[in-house]
Amino acid sequence: MSHDDIQHHVKTYIKVFMALMFFTLLTVYASYVDFDLAPELKAGAIFVGLFIATVKGTLVATQFMHLNNEKKIIYWVLGLTIVFFTVCLSIPVLWDSNLVGDTNFEQSPPKIEGGHH
Amino acid sequence: MSSQDHHEESFISKYIFSQDHKWIGIQYGITSLLFLLFGFALMMVMRWQLAYPDTVIPLVGWMFEDGMLSPDMYNSFGAMHGTIMIFLGVVPMVVGAFGNYLVPLQIGAPDMAFPKLNMASYWAYFIGGVVMFASFFMEGGAAASGWTMYPPLSVIAENGETVWLVGMIFLITSSLLGSMNIIVTIVQLRAEGLTWGRLPFFVWAQFVTSFLLVLAFPPLEAAGILQLMDRLVGTSFFLPSGLVVGGEVLNVSGGGSPLLWQHLFWFLAHPEVYVLVLPAMGVVAEIIANNTRKPLWGYNSLVFAVVWLGFMSFIVWAHHMFLTGMGQGMSVFFQTTTMIISIPSVIILSALFITLWGGKIRFNTPMLFALAFLPMFGIGGLTGLPLGLAPTDIHLHDTYYVIGHFHYVVAPGTIFAIFAGIYFWFPKITGKKLNEGLGKIHFFFSLIFINGVFMPMFIQGLAGVSRRLADGGVSYAHAAGVLQWNEFMSMSAWLLGLAQIPFIINFFMTIFKKVDGVADPNPWQSTTMEWTNTTSPPLGHGNFETAPVVHRGPYEYSIEGASEDFIPQTQK
Amino acid sequence: MQIPYNEELRPDTGLYNAKLGIWIFLASEIMLFGGLFSAYIMLRVGAPVWPPLGTAQLNIPMATFNTVVLITSSVTMVMAWASLKMNNFGKFKMYMGLTLLFSAMFLVVKYFEYSAKLSHGFTPAHDTFLAIYYTMTGLHVIHIIGGMIVNGYLWMPGSKMWESNPVRFTNRIEVAGLYWHFVDLVWIFLFPSLYLL
């Protein structure tokens, strides 16, 4: 990479830094807003919060980690990883919606009869 | 990092903290053989208890209270037998020993991409092994909650589960560093002309295996950290609310889920079983191609199948959890993926079988073991089918049927492949072939007795005998009709142990044998690159005088018009 | 035969060895934190009430400050690499030093956060929210310490390599930077997941 390329990159790093500061403050502010979407689940807040985090993360990944201009092999490795990451994360969630009984968890203590179990 | 240090290396830097992949491979090989022996010994003691419950154990009884194996000790032995065989025995052997030694040689590289990391991987494994071994002698003894370490039992148990978890962290670290090294080595250090389509199948198998290790182990590491927190700090990641222990409600915050452990554990442990098998398939493929004097049939299918197998292995894990109350949607999903994953396995096995057709088969010891792998693994795979289907699994889960199934794939499966590989590559490492007579005795008796140990397990499992029973099923009425097999299986196990003696004698006899003159560097007339340089390639000097250039595919055997029945990959 | 492609790029992949190596390592780290996020999701989805009754209130101002600190350290880290690319060893030293300073600041704030909670009896054993909070941020802290050790080595004793092999040294800084940005990335997701949502 030539000297000018690097200088150009440096300018970008500063801009990205500013953007990340902005989004950080935005995400804190947004967490206090009541999005009123399935309030018990806080689904609205979760969606907004994760969306902003994804934007920030993408900035770090593409600009600081130079993923916007990487080689194919790296993209393949990461793509594969994201697929399995998604599987790992989503199965426990989907599991809970597809049980034979009511819940995975026994929330109230069972009644203990007599002296033995 | 230079592998070309011309100054004298000290004994310590050459042999203890070696950075040469060949020596590290040997370190892994010796250490894992010792652990395999230890794990086997644990099983032999367990089988005494199963055959002759509550009687004094001969020879080693003095080590135990009352000369017998208590139920708690039995559970410890069972848990550690599994742990040691898988994590300290088979995987370090197939990946750490075979992978480390052969991959750089087969791709024409001077060493692994990161030699220092390679050394660190071995020593992390060694420390993990010492920790696991030491757990037997610590207060509370070794872990006793199965190699699967299911909570809540594993969290509340007063045995060595904590030590097990610490040992696992070392082993997982070793594995991650090692597999990362293998991937970078294969991608970056292939010799000129060695395109992906010319890679020996063994290298493809190691490549896919390393991806499995890199991506599947971390969730278990996470789970291990969580279980350590539960045991040491009192958290309740895996302890549900209201858990009653000994008649009293446990004083923890609750709110956790035992199923969380199962998910994270099996997310690794299923790909792990493919880690056990894929390198073995690689070994068998190399030996079959060499000893049929034919190219492997269906190279492209084999590569496609092994990649497909690796990918699928990540999405089948809950077939170990069919009985946990999962819903129908989940169950159907995992049954489907499990059935699909059998297809690439069959493709690989079929391709290897078809390779035999019309070949000039040489029945030397490595080939005998490699040939036996095929039907033995086949039995293992077929017996997996009723386990992968939920309706039949309801009856068979947690019975001896499962133990029979998985041992068939790993014991007469992978371990036979390991023996095949040892017999095959021994002359490369030492310059001398192992004795054929002793080898054949080792093979025939191992084959007979290993079937004697594991075949009756299907009978017992179908009758409903549960696994992990210290009394072998004596207290269950439904087991009464099949209990007589216990003695038969135990006898087979001890005879199987005796059958290893010819191998051990052969091993040491050949190492210390004096040979005149220069050894033949390619005694099996093989095509792949590891056979092009000298036997016992010297340590610390890179592997090849000049960088090799590859001109051909890996299996150019019996090519029409050639002067010999094989053409090495590097020949123009 | 020397091991090739530690400085120069392999033609068909376009990479030097350590770059591929670190991305594979980061892939495993994604799975590690993925396992923990998966645990967090499962515990939260399965809980009757979240956050659990009686659990601690996390300190959002402190964590926001820490987020700013960590992002800044990421910028100084990439500037350290850029300085080497522009042949400015002095600037590299400055930026790497700043990176270490900001990392230390992060740790100090975390120390105050943890001790404030623990002194009020809000231990990991108290409830599952605190359990997962301490575990995830604790593992993250361990990663920061690991990164500081590597960065510290490269800042001081390891920087001698700039004289003998500047290309390889620059590659090492790039690779250390990738790890550091990843640690930052994890925090970018941890912060809202644990503190805000």
Q: Tens digit of pLDDT for each residue in B153-187?
A: 999 998 889 999 999 999 999 999 999 999 999 99
Q: Is B149 on the interface with C (CB under 8 A)?
A: no
Choose the mutation target among C19, C43, C60, C71 for the interface with A, i.e. most A CBs under 10 Å: C71
Domain of B162, CATH number, reads: 1.20.210.10
DSSP reduced 3-state for B162: helix
Residues B182-235 pLDDT 10s: 999 999 999 999 999 999 999 999 999 999 999 999 999 999 999 999 999 999
Report pLDDT for A116: 45
Question: CA of B84, closest CA in chain A: separation in Å?
Answer: 27
Question: How many whole angstroms separate alpha carbon B385 and alpha carbon B342?
Answer: 8
Q: Is C32 on the interface with A (CB under 8 A)?
A: no
Q: Is C68 on the interface with A (CB under 8 A)?
A: yes
User: Is B407 inside a domain boundary?
Assistant: yes
| CB spacing of A99 vs B325 below 8 angstroms | yes
Which residues form the domain of B507?
A: 18-240+253-531
CB contact at 8 A, B557 and B289: yes
- pLDDT of B5 > 90? The answer is no
Average pLDDT of span B2-8? 52
Can you read off the two tokens belonging to residue B533? 């340089």
Of C1, C39, C46, the CB nearest to B226: C39
User: What is the rounded average pLDDT for all residues in chain B?
Assistant: 93
Confidence of residue A39 (pLDDT cuts 50, 70, 90): low
Percent of chain B with pLDDT strictly greater than 70: 99
Vertex B295: Cα angle to B292 and B300 (nearest 5) = 135
* Residue B479 or residue B305, greater confidence: B305
User: Is B418 inside a domain boundary?
Assistant: yes
Residues B362-373 pLDDT 10s: 999 999 999 999
Taking the mean position of all CA atoms in its chain, how far away is CA B108? 26
| CB spacing of B247 vs A81 below 8 angstroms | no
- CATH fold of C59-196 reads Four Helix Bundle (Hemerythrin (Met), subunit A) (1.20.120)
User: Is A60 inside a domain boundary?
Assistant: yes
User: Is A102 inside a domain boundary?
Assistant: no
Report pLDDT for B4: 47
User: Is A91 inside a domain boundary?
Assistant: no
* Residue C177 or residue B242, greater confidence: C177
Residues C95-144 pLDDT 10s: 999 999 999 999 999 999 999 999 999 999 999 999 999 999 999 999 99
User: Is B155 inside a domain boundary?
Assistant: yes
Q: Is C85 on the interface with A (CB under 8 A)?
A: yes
| CB spacing of B330 vs A95 below 8 angstroms | yes
User: Is A22 inside a domain boundary?
Assistant: yes
User: Is A98 inside a domain boundary?
Assistant: no
Report pLDDT for B571: 87
Q: Is B267 on the interface with C (CB under 8 A)?
A: yes
Report pLDDT for B1: 41
- pLDDT of B544 > 90? The answer is no
Cβ neighbours of A99 in B, within 8 Å: 325-327
Which residues form the domain of A26?
A: 3-68
Question: How many whole angstroms separate alpha carbon B436 and alpha carbon B446?
Answer: 15
| CB spacing of A107 vs B329 below 8 angstroms | no
DSSP chain A: --HHHHHHHHHHHHHHHHHHHHHHHHHHHHHTS---SSTTTTHHHHHHHHHHHHHHHHHIIIIIS-GGG--HHHHHHHHHHHHHHHHHHHHHHHHHTSBSSS-SS--SPPP--SS--
User: Is B271 inside a domain boundary?
Assistant: yes
User: Is A23 inside a domain boundary?
Assistant: yes
Residues B131-143 pLDDT 10s: 999 999 998 889 9
Question: How many whole angstroms separate alpha carbon C29 and alpha carbon C119?
Answer: 32
| CB spacing of C192 vs A31 below 8 angstroms | yes
Residues B373-405 pLDDT 10s: 999 999 999 999 999 999 999 999 999 999 999
Question: How many whole angstroms separate alpha carbon B253 and alpha carbon B255?
Answer: 7
Of the candidates C50, C197, C129, C58, the residue with the CA atom closest to the CA atom of residue A31:
C197
CA dihedral sign of residues B74, B75, B81, B84: negative
ipTM of this complex prediction, to 2 decimal places: 0.94
Of the candidates A1, A109, A112, the residue with the CA atom closest to the CA atom of residue B251:
A109
CA dihedral sign of residues B542, B546, B548, B549: positive
Residues C6-53 pLDDT 10s: 999 999 999 999 999 999 999 999 999 999 999 999 998 888 888 888
Q: Look up tokens 């920030």; give the residue.
A: A56
Confidence of residue B2 (pLDDT cuts 50, 70, 90): very low
| CB spacing of A104 vs B257 below 8 angstroms | yes
Q: Is A93 on the interface with B (CB under 8 A)?
A: no
DSSP B537-568: PPTTB-S-SS--B--S-S--BS-TT-SSSB--
Report pLDDT for B533: 78
Of A57, A77, A95, the CB nearest to C189: A57
Residues A70-115 pLDDT 10s: 999 999 999 999 999 999 888 877 887 777 765 555 455 555 555 4
Domain count, chain B: 1
Domain count, chain A: 1
Average pLDDT of span C136-162? 94
Of C4, C39, C43, the CB nearest to B264: C39
In chain C, where the domains are located? 59-196
Of B211, B249, B327, the CB nearest to A98: B327
Q: Is C41 on the interface with B (CB under 8 A)?
A: no
Residues B430-472 pLDDT 10s: 999 999 999 999 999 999 999 999 999 999 999 999 999 998 8
CB contact at 8 A, B322 and A100: no
Cβ neighbours of C82 in A, within 8 Å: 6, 9-10, 13
Residues B309-344 pLDDT 10s: 999 999 999 999 999 988 888 999 999 999 999 999
Report pLDDT for A111: 56
Average pLDDT of span B526-553? 85
Residues B400-432 pLDDT 10s: 999 999 999 999 999 999 999 999 999 999 999
